[in-house]
């Protein structure tokens, strides 16, 4: 509900939270119907240009275009399917993602190395190498972990 200013006769001006379509409210002093006053709109720096964006906005190197305010920046981010780094769960998010990807590559390389060793062990028999590298109990555990949303 919006906050409106009201006045009635010589009584002091007062504010009241009321539904936007309610035109009359009782005077806080005498109870008679008070008149809604025209009040100044809320001034927010992000919408009026009193920010680092300046009056004409600024060129955002990350987005590659001129932006006018935070709202305009958010609109461009949404259109491009991007999010602010600050919305990703704190500092160092990118670094944590890169570390996780490196760890996944390391695990993948270990599996490839194990498979290659098993191919040599079984004299080129890839079926036996696959069975030794990917036993059923390991695949079932990975399937359960995947279904639960866990990383192995």
Please compute the mean of the pLDDT values over residues 2-21 and round it to a whole number.
84
DSSP assignment letter at 28 = T
The pTM score is 0.41
Q: Which of the given ranges, 51-55, 57-61, 111-115, 141-145, has the highest pLDDT on average?
A: 111-115
**Per-residue pLDDT tens over the stretch 53-68:** 666 778 888 888 888 8
Rounded to 5 degrees, φ, ψ at 59 are -85, 125
Domain boundaries, the chain: 3-36, 45-82, 93-147
Residue 152 has pLDDT above 70, yes or no: no
Helix (H), strand (E), coil (C) string for 62-89: CCCEEECCHHHHHHHHHHCCCCCHHHHC
- On average, the pLDDT of the chain sits at 83
CA distance 131 to 74: 51
């Amino acid at each position: 509900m919006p906050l409106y200013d009201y006045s009635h006769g010589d009584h002091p001006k007062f504010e009241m939270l009321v539904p936007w379509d309610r035109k009359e409210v009782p005077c806080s002093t005498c109870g008679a119907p008070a008149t809604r006053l025209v009040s100044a709109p809320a001034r927010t720096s992000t919408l009026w240009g009193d920010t680092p964006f300046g009056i004409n906005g600024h060129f955002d190197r990350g987005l590659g275009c001129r932006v006018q305010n935070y709202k305009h920046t958010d609109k461009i981010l949404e259109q491009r399917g991007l999010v602010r780094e600050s919305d990703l769960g704190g500092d160092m998010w990118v670094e944590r993602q890169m570390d996780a990807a490196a760890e996944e590559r390391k695990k993948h390389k270990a599996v490839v190395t194990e498979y290659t060793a098993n191919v040599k062990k079984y004299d080129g028999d890839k079926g036996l190498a696959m069975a030794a590298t990917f036993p059923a109990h390991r695949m079932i555990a990975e399937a359960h972990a995947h279904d639960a949303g866990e990383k192995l």
